[in-house]
Structure 1
């Protein structure tokens, strides 16, 4: 999987993954195991800005991943509750969505949607069983992208198919957050 990310994003700057205890703390709060490709992405490229606008936190980054997830999940539920019954996000996973990135151009939130067939853990599911969702803040709507993090990034970086309203003219694929303790 690391080879796929290097092909999409270039050479990684993070050579030590977050300690397993940091991931364990996040997964205990979520009450589920995160997909492997997501953890590999964050371990290699987290605490960074993708395409000039998409902030991806890291467990030990300038803004802690756990704090980010806690705050953004709470804000998501408050902002999008009115869409709950009409969105494509299945009701049984609504409470378990996982915020993984924030788009600072327009305030959109990128979410991971756990596999539908696995209520407590993704251990028996593959990374591709997860979905990425984009919660559009400007016009409240939630769009689902099947296939997980890897498929989502391939769609954007290889196929140049961006979620609605996301600037597509950025040439810099990613850069560390200024002052990141990980560099």
Structure 2
């Protein structure tokens, strides 16, 4: 992994959980959604997912039998295809040419992977709080997540979240009746 933000993000999040270590679910997921997901995204999801970060941000995992990432991506694509963007050139969702959802919050904020290769530059698009606008971030997912955790405006202008102290992580269910567990990332300055 050459993205320096993968290690920087892992330093903030603390020890990896690797709940689904040794799984082989990325390839079937990518075939099903007809899109290649970036290595930094897969590395961070493998290390920590499925997890809720700081009580808001959800990161699902493709090997989770209770709520697989594939299900969430498919449902989210369908939801966004039904949105009236009020534009002649509305954004596309899903497939090789459309935006692929990769993260969300419990407040209706979403992050999407941009399709294709823009001169080697990774791109994330985001929208927040029922706003019909997409915001472009020319960075990798790992950088986007790192900046989100640092309290930068990563979903929409004027909306940021910074929680001082260590990042709080909470496991998401992997089976009916699962109890969640909480743990914390590394101590950090405000």
Find the partner of 1:155 among 132, 135, 147: 147
Contact 1:52 1:172 survives alignment (8 Å): no
**Inter-CA distance 101–84: structure 2 relative to 1 (3 Å threshold):** farther
TM-score between the two structures when normalised by the length of structure 2: 0.73
Contact 1:155 1:161 survives alignment (8 Å): yes
Find the partner of 2:44 among 33, 41, 45: 41
Quick check: which one's helix share is greater?
Answer: 1
Contact 1:156 1:162 survives alignment (8 Å): yes
Secondary structure at the counterpart of residue 79 of structure 1: coil
The structure having more radius of gyration, on CA atoms, is 2
Secondary structure at the counterpart of residue 82 of structure 2: helix
The total of aligned residue pairs comes to 169
Match of 1:132 in 2: 124
**Inter-CA distance 170–29: structure 2 relative to 1 (3 Å threshold):** farther
Spell out, residue by residue over 1:114-139, the C-alpha distance to the aligned partner (whole angstroms, 9 max, x if none): 2345xxxxxxx86xx32111122422
**Inter-CA distance 107–166: structure 2 relative to 1 (3 Å threshold):** farther
Aligned runs of 1:7-156 on 2, under 5 Å? 7-14=11-18, 16-17=20-21, 19-20=23-24, 22-61=25-64, 62-83=66-87, 85=89, 95-104=97-106, 106-116=107-117, 129-156=121-148
Unpaired runs of 5+ in structure 2? 182-190
TM-score between the two structures when normalised by the length of structure 1: 0.76
Spell out, residue by residue over 1:64-119, the C-alpha distance to the aligned partner (whole angstroms, 9 max, x if none): 10000000011112125434626xx689x895211111110x211111112345xx
Contact 2:148 2:161 survives alignment (8 Å): no
Q: Distance in 1 between matches of 2:100 and 2:125?
A: 10
**Inter-CA distance 149–5: structure 2 relative to 1 (3 Å threshold):** same
**Inter-CA distance 10–59: structure 2 relative to 1 (3 Å threshold):** same
Contact 1:130 1:147 survives alignment (8 Å): yes
- The CA RMSD over aligned residues, in Å, is 3.1
Q: Distance in 2 between matches of 1:135 and 1:94?
A: 20
